[in-house]
């Protein structure tokens, strides 16, 4: 019986340590619904626009890339929000991203038509209805 108590104590400590990671991965602390515009900071990637609608941790929307290596790419995206991180992939193309959201700005890395990209986007409205593309 004495040898079982340290084992039980160890299991309690280990399970307590793992819990914050699980909570952090499933906690949704931001809402990305709306239209986001910006550019890839890597030369030649062009301007980006994301039109997003979030329900819980799930996000669906539309990606537009004007100019650059992915010239005039338009396609649907799907993603998730965990904490303050928005991860997405273009469902009919090569663009993916993992962006950290802070208020009406998000930035981070991803991949596009010509390799790794760095994106910086700003929310221009909170409606998820599509807008006409800007040149």
Q: How many helices (H) and strands (E) does the chain have?
A: 1, 8
Does residue 83 lie within any of the structural domains?
A: yes
Residue 62 has pLDDT above 80, yes or no: yes
Q: Is residue 29 part of a domain?
A: no
Report the domain count for the chain: 1
Q: Which domain holds residue 110?
A: 34-125
Q: Is residue 48 part of a domain?
A: yes
Residue 55 falls in which region: left (phi positive, over 0), alpha (psi -120 to 50) or beta: beta
Q: How confident is the model at residue 130 (pLDDT cuts 50, 70, 90)?
A: low
CATH number at residue 53: 2.40.128.120
| Its pTM surpasses 0.85 | no
Q: Which of the two residues, 105 and 14, has the higher pLDDT score?
A: 105
Whole-number pLDDT of residue 93: 86
Is 73 domain-assigned? yes
| Domain-located, residue 25 | no
């Amino acid at each position: 019986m004495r040898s079982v108590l340290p084992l039980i104590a160890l299991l309690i400590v280990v399970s307590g340590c793992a819990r914050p990671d699980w909570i952090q991965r499933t906690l949704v602390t931001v809402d990305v619904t709306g239209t986001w515009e910006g550019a890839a900071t890597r030369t030649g990637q062009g301007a980006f626009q994301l039109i997003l609608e979030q329900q819980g941790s799930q996000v669906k929307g539309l990606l537009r890339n004007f100019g650059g290596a992915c010239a005039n790419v338009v396609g649907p995206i799907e993603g998730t929000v965990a904490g303050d991180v928005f991860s997405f992939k273009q469902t009919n193309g090569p663009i993916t991203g993992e962006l950290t959201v802070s208020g009406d700005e998000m930035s981070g890395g991803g991949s596009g038509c010509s390799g790794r990209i760095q994106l910086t986007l700003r929310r221009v409205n909170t409606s998820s209805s599509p807008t006409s593309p800007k040149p």
